[in-house]
Amino acid sequence: MRIAHFITFCLLTPMLLLLSCGSKQTEASTETDGRLSVSKKRNLTFVGLEERAVFEALALNGRIGVPPENDYIVSSLFAGSVQSIYLLPGNQVKKGDLLLEIQDEQILSAQQRFIETAANSAFQRAEFERSSTLFEEEIISRKQYQLSEQAYKSAESAYQSALQTIGLMGLEPERILLGELSARLKVYAPFSGVISEINAIQGQFVTSNQPLMRLTKTEHLHVEFPVYEADISRIFEEQRVLIARPNTSEYTLEASVHKIGKTVEAETRSIPVHADFTNPDDQLLWVPGRYVQLKVLLDESLALTLPETAITALESSHFALRLVGETDQAYQFEKVFIRKGKTAEGVVEVLNFKDLELSDRFVSEGVFELITN
């Protein structure tokens, strides 16, 4: 008796499983008369034709740059030993901040020459004024007067030269004349920005005008990138450029071409192109010199589109599922042919949009699964 029950159970089990599977497949999707019926339990979402910008994209690599006038090489007018460096690369500085100090006897000598020329100029001025009076009273000769005038002009010229040197050193003439001399030259930031390079170390002897560090003004950053000469004819000013966010592949930052170079770089056969950020706040994400990934948008135009997820490839063609009816329990769809055009930012240009209606609704995702199940 138990054996008979066991045999009956074994025979019924596959049938029940088959019926169960058939029930689930019917619940998922069934095709009748070219129409696909899908249970509403699937919680499908729908999309329609939408006018969007489509384009081809020229993928390139570039770097963050600054205008030439915003890049400054910090150096010293005098040779000497680097005594103190107060910053590191990447530090933000304000105009007038102390950057480093140089020490040398020549620095002290320049201040001493300024004191001497100032004193000599004052003396020669007084002598010239006295000679002018004596000459008017015909007490001295014209030659004596001219010699006095020449001596004064020479002394004044030497004083003005020494004064300019003191000014270039960033020193205050009044304090030097009061006797406040120092063998150290303090180098200050000429404008606010970021320290992008440091080329000296403490204790190093440096020559005059030797690059010690680079100070970059970050108020305006742009994107610099090379374009091969074969592609340069497709680049124009104000053309849109998409830029990937730092350390991601999300091209969500936007720029526009600002300037196109006029010469071809001999080795790479490329031409430099500059683009400005559309949103100035996007500059805050970058530092000068950093590499970027970008896409230059080519042949951009408006077109009727569908999301890429709403279209599936099947037998060398592309299809979407258009909603054609529904009941309380199920949706009815028909498979429609889609002729694809350009693809951009997750949408596809629909070239045969005249075969469709703007009011049509399409399954937004999972199309391949629904068609093939």
Domain-embedded: residue 10 = no
Maximum distance among all alpha carbons in the chain? Answer: 157
Beta carbons of 106 and 190 less than 8 angstroms apart = no
Is residue 314 over pLDDT 50? yes
Nearest to 254 by CA among 219, 225, 283: 283
Domain-embedded: residue 342 = yes
Q: Determine the pLDDT at residue 31.
A: 65
Q: What is the mean pLDDT of residues 214-220?
A: 87
Per the model's pLDDT, the better-predicted residue between 178 and 25 turns out to be 178
Same domain, 95 and 202: yes
Same domain, 234 and 286: yes
Same domain, 224 and 296: yes
Same domain, 261 and 310: no
Same domain, 238 and 283: yes
Domain-embedded: residue 16 = no
Domain-embedded: residue 15 = no
Radius of gyration of the CA atoms of the chain, in A: 40
Give the mean pLDDT of the chain. Answer: 88
> What's 311's domain CATH number?
2.40.420.20
Residues spanned by the domain of 295: 57-69+219-301
Domain count, the chain: 4
Half-sphere exposure of 13 (CA within 13 A, CB side): 6
**Sheet holding 92-93: strands in order across?**
71-74, 213-216, 193-198, 92-93
Domain-embedded: residue 274 = yes
Domain-embedded: residue 9 = no
Q: Determine the pLDDT at residue 28.
A: 52
**Three-class HEC string of 142-157:** HHHHHHHHHHHHHHHH
> What's 146's domain CATH number?
1.10.287.470
Hey, how many other C-beta atoms are within 10 angstroms of the C-beta on 122? Answer: 13
pLDDT tens readout for residues 167-177: 888 888 999 99
Q: What is the mean pLDDT of residues 197-219?
A: 90
Q: Determine the pLDDT at residue 16.
A: 39
pLDDT tens readout for residues 69-90: 888 999 988 899 998 898 888 8
Q: Determine the pLDDT at residue 227.
A: 96
